Structure 1
Amino acid sequence: MSGPRIHVAADFTVGGDVVLPEGPARHVARVLRLGEGAPVRLFDGAGHEARAVIVEASRKRVVVCIESVEAGRGESPLAVHLGQAISKGDRMDYAIQKAVELGVAAITPLYTEHGDVRLKGEREAKKLAHWQAVAASACEQCGRAVVPVVHTPSTLHEWLGERGEMLRLVLHPGTAGALEQDVAPASAALLIGPEGGLADSEVEAAMACDFSLLSLGPRILRTETAPVVALSLLQYRFGDLG
Structure 2
Amino acid sequence: MIRIHLDPPLREDSEMPLPEEAFRHLVQVLRLREGEPFTVFCGDGGEYEATLSAVARRSATLRLGARREADRESPLLLTLAQCVSKGDRMDYTLQKAVELGVQRIQPLLSARSVVKLDGERWEKKLEHWRGVIVSACEQSGRTRLPELAAVQPLERWLPACAEAGLRLTLDPLAAGGIASLPTRTSATLLIGPEGGLSEAEIRQAAAAGFQGLRVGPRILRTETAGVAVLAALQARFGDWG
TM interval, shorter chain, is over 0.9
Pair 1:169-2:137 in alignment: no
In structure 1, distance between residues paired with 2:67 and 2:155? 42
In structure 2, distance between residues paired with 1:180 and 1:202? 24
Paired residues for 1:89-104 under 5 Å: 89-104=87-102
- The answer for the alignment partner of 1:222 in structure 2 is 221
Paired residues for 1:39-188 under 5 Å: 39-160=37-158, 161-173=160-172, 174-177=174-177, 179-183=179-183, 185-188=184-187
Which is worse superposed, 150-159 or 223-232? 150-159
Q: Deviations over 1:28-67 (max 9, x none)?
A: 1112222211111011123221111111222322221111
In structure 1, distance between residues paired with 2:116 and 2:226? 21
In structure 2, distance between residues paired with 1:115 and 1:179? 30
In structure 2, distance between residues paired with 1:5 and 1:164? 32
Cα contact 1:29–1:58 (8 A) shared by 2: no
Cα contact 1:99–1:231 (8 A) shared by 2: yes
In the superposition, the TM-score normalised over structure 2's length comes to: 0.94
2:73 corresponds to which letter in structure 1? E
Q: Deviations over 1:121-167 (max 9, x none)?
A: 21100000000100000111111111112211111122222233211
In structure 2, distance between residues paired with 1:19 and 1:109? 34
Unaligned runs of 5+ in 1: none
In the superposition, the TM-score normalised over structure 1's length comes to: 0.94
Q: Secondary structure at the match of 2:98?
A: helix
Which is worse superposed, 13-22 or 84-93? 13-22
Q: Secondary structure at the match of 1:63?
A: strand
Seen in structure 2, the aligned counterparts of structure 1 residues 72 and 119 have a Cα distance that, compared at 3 Å, is: farther
2:140 corresponds to which letter in structure 1? C
Unaligned runs of 5+ in 2: none
Point out 4+ residue stretches in structure 1 off by more than 6 angstroms: none
Displacement of 1:177 after TM fit? Answer: 4.6
Displacement of 1:168 after TM fit? Answer: 0.6
- The answer for the alignment partner of 2:19 in structure 1 is 21
Aligned length: 239
Pair 1:193-2:225 in alignment: no
In structure 2, distance between residues paired with 1:169 and 1:9? 34
Q: Secondary structure at the match of 2:66?
A: strand
Q: Secondary structure at the match of 1:27?
A: helix
| Sequence identity percentage | 46
Which is worse superposed, 48-57 or 168-177? 168-177
**RMSD value, Cα:** 1.5
- The answer for the alignment partner of 2:240 in structure 1 is 241
Q: Secondary structure at the match of 2:190?
A: strand
Displacement of 1:188 after TM fit? Answer: 1.1
